[in-house]
Chain A
Amino acid sequence: MDTPNIQKTSLNENHKKRGAKMVSFAGWEMPIQYTQLKEEHHAVRTSVGLFDVSHMGEIRFKGSEALNSLQWLTTNDVAKLESGQAQYSLLPNDRGGLVDDIIVYCLEKNQDYLVCVNAANKDKDFAWMTKHNRGAQVTDESSQWGQIAIQGPKAHDLLKAVFNESFDAVKNFSVLHRKFTNHQGKPVDVIIATTGYTGERGAEVFVPWNETESLWDLLLEKGQPMGAQPIGLGARDTLRTEMKYSLYGHEINDELNPYAAGLGWAIKPDAKDFIGKAAILKGKEAGLKKKLVGLRMVDKGIPREMYTLHSKDGIQTGWITSGTHSPTLDAPIGIGYVDVKDAELGNEIFVDIRGRKVKAQVCKTPFIQK
């Protein structure tokens, strides 16, 4: 691939050496798969998979106004975070939509936070944060951090093998400072966060950019007895879709109200003021028109992004935001917006698949039980 100006993670050559199929994603050359998508998907659901997510952005908030700035910029209540805790949150715009969805990692309460943002949105987010900053020291640290996600039922076994301690008692959304020994035998500081995007237990490790390959190779080596393997972006997407996790640009964007996406749990209007609060609440109070639901197919067909959805009377009620064949269920699944009146569990919805109206049904989500 010779696209000019395409960015590469520090593992780029490593992926190619391992035979990964590379694609352009959000301005980065990334592995979409190493073996076969389904096989990688099952590896994460049954043992443990490693994801190079170094393309994700990291923005640091420091100083006495770090908390205040983040409270103003995000929807969740950052004051609730103690040092060593993380939270899912949203970056609202002033029109009732979202600039991005993010995770806020509290390194030191009140004055030091790391914010992980989507790769495709990083520059936009940083500009937005800088513009609406309320006195914090805001730094784009994306080029300094590599990131490896370790996900699966055996993720804790692998963490134990690499970091020589048990993480079984560590709660989800915790943030820990640890060290690993690199290729040259030197200790390297990393930040381990027990977060992820697959629905499995595990961690996301922030590692200095130039040490990422050391940690990656170590994880694969120590993980060999557990069946650890690298996982591409293809399986990352099917794994998150099975959990009905939102992906920016699909379930959420600049226009859509986050309450309609079912993200009200990450919005705390009673706790604080934040950018766009009035606009988001206005949208909610006016009565949400659409609701994000999960769909299972009754008749044959796979729902795909942007396919239109129709109610029984044939009227268009919404659209598919993400759809695939679920490797875990071995069945098609879809996420989509429908009119609130059509959103009831069990309601029949018709998906327009190449001009045919194919019957589906609103179902419980996540699509799989975790």
Chain B
Amino acid sequence: MVYRIPEDNYYTKEHEWAQVDENIVTVGITEFAQNQLGEVVYVELPEEGQKVTQNQPFGVVESVKAVSDLYSPVSGTVIEVNNTLVDDPAPLNDDPMNDGWLIRIEMDTEKELAQLMRAGDYKKLIAEK
């Protein structure tokens, strides 16, 4: 299985990706995570305006067999939520890197990005799995 791991993104150990545009961070799960979960059938996301904290759960995805927490790559305020996934998680299964994005966060501080992985390290991480 070959997974797309865009070089520009940041990654978490819990298999979220973070795309940074100035102080706005778009968050999703990686193709590897989606493949490991199997088909996602249920998504629970925070409300706009909610605060999230780096490495803390902000939502949940469920496949047929398991419940998995979603971990925030940075601390900040949720400014946009991909609520279409709540009604139909199909985009998360078909294209977790684009249409399947989960939330957008206005991050508190860029300093936290130093604690995330870049593509090279993330590739190594999943190669060990």
A-to-B contact residues, CB < 8 Å: 32-33, 36-38, 41, 234, 237-238, 300-302, 304, 324-325, 327, 330, 332, 354
Contact = CB atoms under 8 A, between A and B. Distances in A.
A327 B39 CA distance: 11
B119 interface: no
Contacts of B44: 301, 354
Given A33-B38, A300-B86, 8 more contacts: A37-B65, A38-B39, A234-B64, A238-B64, A304-B67, A324-B64, A325-B41, A354-B44
B38 A36 contact: yes
B64 A37 contact: yes
Contacts of A38: 38-39, 64
List of 8 A-B pairs having minimum Cβ-Cβ separation, nearest first? A325-B41, A325-B64, A37-B64, A234-B65, A302-B62, A36-B38, A302-B42, A37-B38
A37 B63 CA distance: 9
Contact of B62 (A37, A234, A325, A327): A325
B60 interface: yes
A316 to B, nearest CB: 21
A324 B65 contact: yes
B38 to A, nearest CB: 5
A24 to B, nearest CB: 15
B36 to A, nearest CB: 9
A140 B13 CA distance: 46
A72 B86 CA distance: 54
B42 A325 contact: yes
Interface in B5-45: 38-39, 41-42, 44
A354 B65 contact: no
Interface string B59-96: 01011110100000000000000000010000000000
A238 B66 CA distance: 12
Contact of A300 (B38, B39, B42): B42
Contacts of A300: 42, 86
B116 to A, nearest CB: 26
A41 B65 CA distance: 12
Given A36-B38, A38-B38, A354 B60 contact: yes
Nearest to A353: B44
A301 B62 CA distance: 9
A354 B59 CA distance: 10
Contacts of A327: 64
B70 to A, nearest CB: 12
A304 B66 CA distance: 9
Contacts of B42: 300-302, 325, 332
A49 to B, nearest CB: 16
Most buried by A among B42, B63, B64: B64
Contacts of B60: 354
A234 B65 CA distance: 7
Contacts of A32: 65
21 contacts: A32-B65, A33-B38, A36-B38, A36-B39, A37-B38, A37-B63, A37-B65, A38-B38, A38-B39, A38-B64, A41-B64, A238-B65, A300-B86, A301-B42, A301-B44, A302-B42, A302-B67, A325-B42, A325-B64, A332-B42, A354-B44
Nearest to B65: A234
Contacts of A332: 42
A301 B41 CA distance: 10
Nearest to A301: B42
Contacts of A37: 38-39, 63-65
A334 to B, nearest CB: 13
Contacts of A41: 64
A221 B104 CA distance: 50
A330 B88 CA distance: 12
Contacts of B86: 300
Nearest to A235: B64
Contacts of A33: 38
Nearest to A232: B65
Contacts of B65: 32, 37, 234, 237-238, 324
